[in-house]
Structure 1
């Protein structure tokens, strides 16, 4: 079992509040976030961006391991995740995460690739965590 941690601190409340995120690894250290980084274009991060990074990374790693297990030893995978935050039921909800993958896997059959990619989409831990629609579009070079 692996446990990872992160800390959020928020000073002030509502739109005027200012937050900072720090991760256990130190990759994020007092990274600024707040209302304007989430709902406008102010520099900083936000929870949805971090979820998108986690989903893209998780799916890509899951597919990489599936390809290795299937006997493929080289190639590249690049995934973009677009996480959608919408108003719903009087609040906000993450309603979907759209994965877009560009892949190069020498020697793989398109049907086999599609099968492995779909399994990785369903099986990655972040996909399992999401209470939202998860889609996958891909281009196999």
Structure 2
């Protein structure tokens, strides 16, 4: 059965001088500010790339946890950072780079890497992207 989630954006003004807000149905984001400066400079607020990075890090971590569970392991911790690269010349996301550090009792590096590779390829957010995805994985 399909699960649907939603979020909304409101924008006022021009691309460079305007401003907007994003909100999620869960209200975790509730009229959170974004603008040209939060996307292309160091303004206070969020931006689409930061939100995509959070989604990819969270999705990848959960898929890896399921992979570990399926292989008979349980992570003490999975810490994933995602860096999204926005190519401003082409106006596209050119890369999503994941760095995961894990504490998984009893697993060896080879098995861990196999499960990481599967999570990279098969988490739903990875499947959504039409860009290069890279991962660095290490066991703590």
Bin the TM-score by the shorter chain.
Answer: over 0.9
Aligned CA-pair RMSD = 0.9
Q: Which runs of 5+ in 2 are unaligned?
A: none
TM-score under structure 2 normalisation?
A: 0.96
Distance in 1 between the 2:115 and 2:74 partners? Answer: 15
Distance in 2 between the 1:80 and 1:99 partners? Answer: 6
Shift of 1:109: 1.3
Q: Which runs of 5+ in 1 are unaligned?
A: none
| Per-residue CA distance 1:56-107 (angstroms, 9 max, x = gap) | 0000000001101111134210000000001344xx0000000000111010
SS in 1 for 2:105: coil
Distance in 2 between the 1:99 and 1:3 partners? Answer: 25
Shift of 1:120: 0.5
Q: 1:54 to 1:72 in 2, by over 3 A?
A: same
Kept in 1, the 8 Å contact 2:34–2:47? The answer is yes
Alignment of 1:1-141 (within 5 A): 1-89=2-90, 92-141=91-140
| Per-residue CA distance 1:3-33 (angstroms, 9 max, x = gap) | 1001100011121111000001100000000
TM-score under structure 1 normalisation?
A: 0.96
SS in 2 for 1:16: coil
Equivalent residues, number: 139
Distance in 2 between the 1:42 and 1:74 partners? Answer: 36
